[in-house]
Chains A and B, each alone.
Chain A
C-alpha cells in the first residue's frame, strides 16, 4: 500500500472527523500549542532582537545563546522537563520556546542592524527620538526579514509540537504516536500529512501578512 492510498484512506474514514480524537479537535489542540509557543517566543525574542539590533551591540552573546538553543534536542529537553517538573503543558512549552527563540532573536537582530545607516542618521538629525527611529524608520525596512524569522520559528514549532503527545497531551502528534504504537500506518501517515498541511498554510499566512504590512517602497527596493 503506498502513501497516497494511506492518506486517502485516513481522510476518507468518517470516524476520523468526530469526537475527542477527531481531526478538528486534534488540529485545534495543535494550533493552540503552536500559537502559545510562538507568542511566548516572540515576546522574548522580538524586543531583545529589536533593541540589540538598534544599538548594534551584543551580537556575539546572541549568537552564542542561539547556537546553544539550537543544539538542545527538543525531545531530550522534553524528557528532562517532565522528570523535573512533572507532566503538563509547561514541560512541552519550554522546548518549543527554546526552539523558536533563536531564529526570531537572531533574524530580528540582523534585520535591524543591517538597515541602511543613512536614513537612520537623517532621522536622528531631524530630531526623532530613539524609539521613533526604531519603530518608524528601522522596523518598516527590517520587516520582511523579521517576518521571515517568525515564519521559520512558526514552522519549526508546528512540526515539533507533535512531541506533546509523548507526555499524554493532544495535538496532531497523537495520530503519529498512537498509530506507531498500534501499527496503524494509516493514522501515522494521516497525522504527518496534517502537520505538513498546517505548515504549508502557515507559510501562506506569513506570505499574506508580508503583502499587507510591508511597504511597496521596501518590497521593491530590496
Chain B
C-alpha cells in the first residue's frame, strides 16, 4: 500500500501545490486523483516516484519510507505514463517498450520477447513492432506508453492524464482497455485526470482535490455521487450527478413483462393473449426485437415503431435501462440477453420505482456503514 502522510509541497517560488495531504492508496485498485487545473494532482503523483520531493511529510510504500531506497530503483518498480506518451522517437515501438527491462539488465532478446507480449496485451498489432513513433496515431502511441510502463511488471502504475490528448471515441476505447488489463493484472494504479467522468468510470477510489492541493473528499465513486462532502465537490461533479449515479445501480432487480412479446408470425390466438398490453414488441424467428406495434392491428414488418436501444439486465445499469425507456417511442425499454434475443420489456414507471427502491437501499447501507 502507498500511504501519503501529511505531505506538503512548496515550490521554490513559494507556490503551495499540495497542502498537508494524507491518502491511503489501496493495493490492486485504481485510485483516481481528480480536481481543477493547478490543484496539485501532477505534483502529488510525481512525489510518489520522487520526480518531486515533498517539503514536509512522508510517503510510505508497503510501510517503508520511499526515500530509503535508491531513487532509480524506486522508479523502475513503478510504471510511469504521461499525457503525450513521451515515446523515444529514435527507437522502434518494440525497443520503446523494452526500455525498462533493458535498464534492469535483461538481454536484448528477452526484453524484446517481453515487449512483444505486451503489445498483444494492450491491443497493438504485432506488425507495428518495427515502426517508429511518428508512424503511429495518438491513440496507438498512448497504448505503447502503457505497454512500456508495464514492461517490467511493476506492482505500481502512475498515470498522469494519459488519455486526455486523444478524441473521445479513442479515449473510451483506451479506458475500457485499461479496465480490462487491470482485471487481468490487478496493479496498484494511481491515475490523474481532470475529467470527473473518467474518474467515476475508472476509479475504485476517487480523491477530489481542490485548489491549493487540499483534499476535498476521498471516496468510492458511488458514494461521491450520492453524498458529496461539500458544495465544491457537488459543483465539481456537475449537474446530472443523479442520473450518473444510476450507473452504479444494477438493473437485475427490474421486473420484466413478457406478455407483450410476440413473434412476427404470431397466430390469432397468440395475438389475442397479448391484447391487454399497451404495445406489442414484435420479434423475428430467433426472438430478436424488430419494433413496436399497436395491439389489435395486423402485424406489418414495415410499419413497426423503432424499439430504441435495448439493455441487458444484470450487465447494464439502471442508467442504461432508463436511457432505453426514455428513448423508446412507447416509453418502454427492451431487455435482451447476451445473444440479443428479447427477454422482456419494462416501462418508465417500473424503472422509476426501481430507482426509488435502489436509493432507499443505498441510503440504508450508508447509514449502516456509519
At the interface, is chain A mostly helix, strand, loop or mixed?
helix
Residue A221 at the B interface, CB < 8 A?
Answer: yes
User: Which residues of the other chain, B, contact A126 by a CB distance below 8 angstroms?
Assistant: 75-76, 79-80, 99-100, 103, 148-149
- Please choose the segment from B87-95, B199-207, B354-362 that sits at the chain A interface, where 4 or more of its residues have CB less than 8 A away: B87-95
User: Which residues of the other chain, A, contact B89 by a CB distance below 8 angstroms?
Assistant: 116, 119, 141, 215, 217-218, 221
Residue A36 at the B interface, CB < 8 A?
Answer: no
User: Which residues of the other chain, A, contact B134 by a CB distance below 8 angstroms?
Assistant: 217, 220-221
Q: Determine the residue in chain A with the shortest Cβ distance to B74.
A: A127
Q: Which B positions have Cβ atoms within 8 angstroms of A?
A: 49, 51, 71-76, 79-80, 82-92, 99-100, 103, 132-134, 145, 148-149, 158
A171-222: which residues lie under 8 A (CB-CB) from chain B? 215-218, 220-221
A144-183: which residues lie under 8 A (CB-CB) from chain B? none
**Cross-chain contact B80 with A217 (CB below 8 angstroms):** no
User: Which residues of the other chain, B, contact A123 by a CB distance below 8 angstroms?
Assistant: 86, 88, 99
Apart from A125-B49, A126-B79, A221-B89, list 16 A-B contacts with CB within 8 A: A118-B86, A119-B88, A119-B89, A120-B86, A122-B145, A123-B86, A126-B99, A127-B76, A127-B103, A140-B90, A141-B88, A215-B91, A215-B132, A216-B132, A217-B91, A220-B134
User: B87, B100, B103: which contacts A119 (Cβ < 8 A)?
Assistant: B87
User: Which residues of the other chain, B, contact A132 by a CB distance below 8 angstroms?
Assistant: 103
User: Which residues of the other chain, A, contact B158 by a CB distance below 8 angstroms?
Assistant: 125
User: Which residues of the other chain, A, contact B76 by a CB distance below 8 angstroms?
Assistant: 126-127
**Cross-chain contact A118 with B82 (CB below 8 angstroms):** yes
Residue A81 at the B interface, CB < 8 A?
Answer: no
Closest-CB distance, A124 to chain B (whole angstroms): 6
Complex Cα gap A117–B110 (Å):
29
Residue A79 at the B interface, CB < 8 A?
Answer: no
Closest-CB distance, A130 to chain B (whole angstroms): 10
User: Which residues of the other chain, A, contact B145 by a CB distance below 8 angstroms?
Assistant: 122
User: Which residues of the other chain, B, contact A221 by a CB distance below 8 angstroms?
Assistant: 89, 132-134
Q: What 1/0 mask marks residues of chain A from 96 to 127 whose CB sits below 8 Å from any chain B CB?
A: 00000000000000000000101111111111
Contact A125-B80, Cβ < 8 Å, known A217-B134, A220-B134: yes
Q: Which A positions have Cβ atoms within 8 angstroms of B?
A: 116, 118-129, 132, 137, 140-141, 215-218, 220-221
**Cross-chain contact A218 with B75 (CB below 8 angstroms):** no
**Cross-chain contact A127 with B100 (CB below 8 angstroms):** yes
**Cross-chain contact B72 with A217 (CB below 8 angstroms):** no
Complex Cα gap A81–B97 (Å):
55
User: Which residues of the other chain, A, contact B73 by a CB distance below 8 angstroms?
Assistant: 127
**Cross-chain contact A128 with B80 (CB below 8 angstroms):** no
User: B83, B90, B99: which contacts A217 (Cβ < 8 A)?
Assistant: B90
User: A124, A125, A137: which contacts B88 (Cβ < 8 A)?
Assistant: A137
**Cross-chain contact B99 with A125 (CB below 8 angstroms):** no
**Cross-chain contact A119 with B86 (CB below 8 angstroms):** yes
> What are 30 of the A-B contact pairs (CB < 8 Å)?
A116-B89, A118-B83, A118-B86, A119-B87, A119-B88, A120-B86, A121-B86, A122-B86, A122-B145, A123-B86, A123-B99, A125-B75, A125-B82, A125-B158, A126-B76, A126-B80, A126-B100, A126-B103, A127-B71, A127-B74, A129-B72, A140-B88, A141-B90, A215-B132, A217-B91, A217-B92, A217-B132, A217-B134, A221-B132, A221-B133
Q: Determine the residue in chain A with the shortest Cβ distance to B145.
A: A122
User: Which residues of the other chain, B, contact A216 by a CB distance below 8 angstroms?
Assistant: 132
User: Which residues of the other chain, A, contact B148 by a CB distance below 8 angstroms?
Assistant: 122, 126
**Cross-chain contact B86 with A220 (CB below 8 angstroms):** no
The 10 closest A-B pairs by CB, nearest first: A217-B132, A122-B86, A127-B75, A125-B80, A215-B90, A118-B86, A221-B134, A127-B76, A140-B90, A127-B72
User: Which residues of the other chain, B, contact A141 by a CB distance below 8 angstroms?
Assistant: 88-90
Closest-CB distance, B175 to chain A (whole angstroms): 21
Q: Determine the residue in chain A with the shortest Cβ distance to B88.
A: A119
Complex Cα gap A3–B49 (Å):
68
Complex Cα gap A151–B280 (Å):
82
Contact A118-B80, Cβ < 8 Å, known A126-B99, A127-B100: no
By CB atoms of chain B within 10 A, which of A118, A120, A137, A217 has the most? A217
Contact A218-B90, Cβ < 8 Å, known A128-B103, A129-B72: yes
Closest-CB distance, A144 to chain B (whole angstroms): 11
Closest-CB distance, B59 to chain A (whole angstroms): 16
Complex Cα gap A146–B222 (Å):
55
